[in-house]
A = this chain, B = another copy of it.
Amino acid sequence: MSKTLGELARLVSGEIMGDEGLVIRGVASVEEAKEGDITFAVSEKFLRIAESSKASAVVVPSGIDNFCKPVIKVENPRLAFAKILEIYAPAKPEPGGIHKTAVISDRVKIGKGVTIGPYSIIEEGSIIEDNVYLSGFVYLGREVFIGEGTFIHPRVTILDRISIGKKVIIHSGTVIGSDGFGFVRKMNGSYYKIPQIGRVVIEDNVEIGANVTIDRATTGETRIGQGTKIDNLVHIAHNVSIGSNVAIVALVGISGSCKIGSGVILAGQAGVTDHVCIGDNTVVAAKSGVTKDIPSDTFVSGFPARNHIKQKKVKAMVNRLPELVKRVQRIEKMLGDK
């Protein structure tokens, strides 16, 4: 899996300073790079660490003009690094056909180049497009649709009538299409279940982490827009609608019927109350609790979430409260007030 620096530079359309023929055997972060590895650095700090590291070459931003090691200069070093990682990644599993232990019901349509791993269950009427890869223990309910090139890791549940787009990646343990949490409270305090008869639609190029839960809609659909990336242990409730290219970090919870715009970032452990709209490109800080609509292009934090700058100002004042109390005491003393 060795490449020369020249080959890697061509791959990422980068410019070389140093020996084109240098052999690169692996790829690593600046902290763990060893001889023969290529690494990358963006900021001044990491450029210094890279220089003193054992890495044999470094991917750096175009501006850099002198560096004590061979470099590949590119506009976006992180993107170039991602592409170089692809070269050194272990081979993806070969398409394995349909394992003899897979339980496949009637009226299932299966495309070309499809892999269905051991102990998978495909219920009636499901459609699996070309080049889909289902690992072991995958459960597809009735009338599920899986788009071309989608990769589903082991132990994933996709329930009845759910639709998954093309080139989607779903990690292990995730459940898509569980019932929404909908009940009517009766006079005697008991809960009456509201049937959840809607669907979930996952658009193309979405990636969903491990042990995520996405509930089906009561009626209509829960929808995850194309290119959206969801981390582990995230909960998305019924009838939520999420735009494209949204990033949702681990342990976030989104309540029923929320509308999340495109390009939004929800940081870890944030939560959103039901029926809230969040505008495009808004950032919600970690652990925030969004309780009302948030416009586009905003950065909010705290609970209830609001403008992050204001929130920080208030927080700073809270931390100086002991001082404020002393100032008031001094004034009271001056005024002879007890």
Any B CB within 8 A of the CB of A126: no
Any B CB within 8 A of the CB of A145: no
Any B CB within 8 A of the CB of A317: yes
List chain B residues, Cβ under 8 A from A32: 219-220
Q: Is B89 a contact of A197 with CB atoms below 8 Å?
A: yes
Q: Is A121 a contact of B154 with CB atoms below 8 Å?
A: yes
Q: How far is the CA of A45 from the CA of B46 in the complex (A)?
A: 56
Can you name the residue of chain B whose Cβ is closest to the Cβ of A301?
B303
Q: Is B268 a contact of A255 with CB atoms below 8 Å?
A: yes
**A191-B245, A327-B332, A331-B332 are known contacts. Are A157 and B173 too (CB-CB below 8 A)?**
yes
**A79-B192, A85-B218, A247-B191 are known contacts. Are A157 and B154 too (CB-CB below 8 A)?**
yes
Which A residues from 133 to 150 make CB contacts under 8 A with B?
135-137, 139
List chain B residues, Cβ under 8 A from A128: none
Q: Is A269 a contact of B271 with CB atoms below 8 Å?
A: yes
Any B CB within 8 A of the CB of A318: yes
Name the segment of A3-11, A58-66, A205-213 touching the other chain. Answer: A205-213
Q: How far is the CA of A175 from the CA of B139 in the complex (A)?
A: 17
List chain B residues, Cβ under 8 A from A197: 27, 85, 88-90
Any B CB within 8 A of the CB of A172: yes
Copies of the protein in its oligomer: 3
Any B CB within 8 A of the CB of A334: yes
Name the segment of A16-24, A106-114, A182-190 touching the other chain. Answer: A182-190
Any B CB within 8 A of the CB of A193: yes
Any B CB within 8 A of the CB of A98: no
Q: What are 6 A-B contacts defined by CB distance under 8 Å?
A: A78-B194, A169-B193, A179-B209, A268-B271, A271-B287, A330-B337
Q: Mark A10-54, 1 if CB is under 8 A from B, else 0.
A: 000000000000000001110110000000000000000000000
Which A residues from 208 to 244 make CB contacts under 8 A with B?
209-213, 215, 218-220, 227, 229, 231-233, 235, 237, 239, 244
Q: How far is the CA of A249 from the CA of B93 in the complex (A)?
A: 35
Quick one: which of B86, B136, B173, B332 contacts A173, CB cutoff 8 A?
Answer: B173
